[in-house]
Amino acid sequence: MEIEPEGGDRMLRRKGSLHLWQEVCVSVEKDIRQQRLFPGERLATEEELARRFNVHRNTVRRALEVLEEKGLIRTEHGLGSFVRERLISHPMGRRTTLPVILKGLDRGGREEILGSSTVLPSREIFAALRLEKSQYVRRVNMLTLVDDNPTMISSAYFPLPRFHGIDKAIAETGSVPDGLKQLGTEEIIRYESRITTSNPTRTDAELLRQPRSQPVLKLKNTIVDGANQPILFSQIRMSARWIELIIQYNDL
């Protein structure tokens, strides 16, 4: 005779060879691995899953805990459970760039230009690019997508007149490194990176498809060419849901 656990919770009761929580876990994992649920997609609520499998919510909660331990889902307080995204490890070496990393991982990536304009630089940009007095820069705002998922927003500043037409070159080639090469700059070297975190603006949160309560990584990069001349200063807001940064102290 089968005995129910105290409190009426059937979480430990077996159905066939599996505990009930295992049956829920196996079914949801199968949906994830067979791509019936996609990275970043929100799972049904505990109550909805309990009705679907005809089990107690505690049974569902146990199954979700196991799925999270296995790295298949993530839980956001007050928002629910989501299929975990395919995290990209981004080594921060002197010559590593995200487009190159994506090619090595066989991940589809592209940069979409949100807008561009010629502007007078701020003091910070003026100093980073070692500009002459009254020298203008070309600002290009971009959204980076990986596997069609928005991962990064950047405002890139290029000194003029050297990089006149950089926005067109980026649009034609699909990336900043390739756009710079099209304009004759072969060597792209990271000179300095400053990393902080903050909550995104409303606009950035909408572009990254994430809640404003979820922080973003903020990077300020100064890039130089082979002659150590600054060619780019960028301000980047990066979704921590998709990218982890790895600091490399030696390029091999």
pLDDT digits 0-9 by tens, 122-131: 999 999 999 9
The token duo for 53 is 């499998």
Residue 108 has pLDDT above 90, yes or no: no
What are 225-234's pLDDT values in tens digits? 999 999 999 9
**b/e burial code for range 139-168 (CB count within 10 A of at least 16 → b):** bbbbbbebeebbbbbbbbbbbeeebeebbe
Residue 106, Cβ neighbours under 10 Å: how many?
6
Residue 105 has pLDDT above 80, yes or no: no
Question: Which pTM value belongs to this model?
Answer: 0.69
What are 135-181's pLDDT values in tens digits? 999 999 999 888 778 888 999 999 999 999 999 999 999 889 899 99
Selected residue with higher pLDDT from 165 and 39: 165
What are 14-32's pLDDT values in tens digits? 555 568 899 999 999 888 8
Instruction: Specify the residue for token string 């890139």.
Output: 156
Please provide the average confidence, as pLDDT, over all residues in the chain: 84
Selected residue with higher pLDDT from 13 and 42: 42
121 pLDDT band, cuts 50/70/90, is: very high
Cβ(180)–Cβ(188) below 8 Å: yes
Least-confidence region, from 85-94, 112-121, 137-146: 85-94
What pLDDT shows up at residue 40? 74
What pLDDT shows up at residue 98? 65
